[in-house]
Amino acid sequence: MGDLKLQKCREEAEQVTEIMVQNYHKAMERDVKLNDLEERSENLLKASVKFHKTSKTLERQKRMKNLKLKIILGVIVALVLVAVIIVIAVMASRGGSGTAPVERTLSAVTTSLPVKETTEAT
Q: Give the tens place of pLDDT for each residue, 76-112.
A: 999 999 999 999 999 989 865 555 555 555 565 556 5
C-alpha span between 104 and 118 (Å, rounded): 27
Q: How far is CA 51 from the centre of its chain?
A: 15
**Per-residue pLDDT at 39:** 97
SS3 label, residue 96:
coil
pTM score: 0.48
**Per-residue pLDDT at 1:** 73
Q: Give the tens place of pLDDT for each residue, 48-86.
A: 999 999 999 999 999 999 999 999 999 999 999 999 999
Q: How far is CA 61 from CA 55, 57, 66, in A?
A: 10, 6, 9
Q: How far is CA 3 from CA 6, 7, 14, 15, 17, in A?
A: 5, 6, 16, 18, 20
CB of 91 within 8 A of CB of 97? yes
Q: How far is CA 14 from the centre of its chain?
A: 68
**Per-residue pLDDT at 3:** 86
Show Cβ contacts of residue 91 under 8 Å, excluding neighbours closer than 6 positions.
97, 98
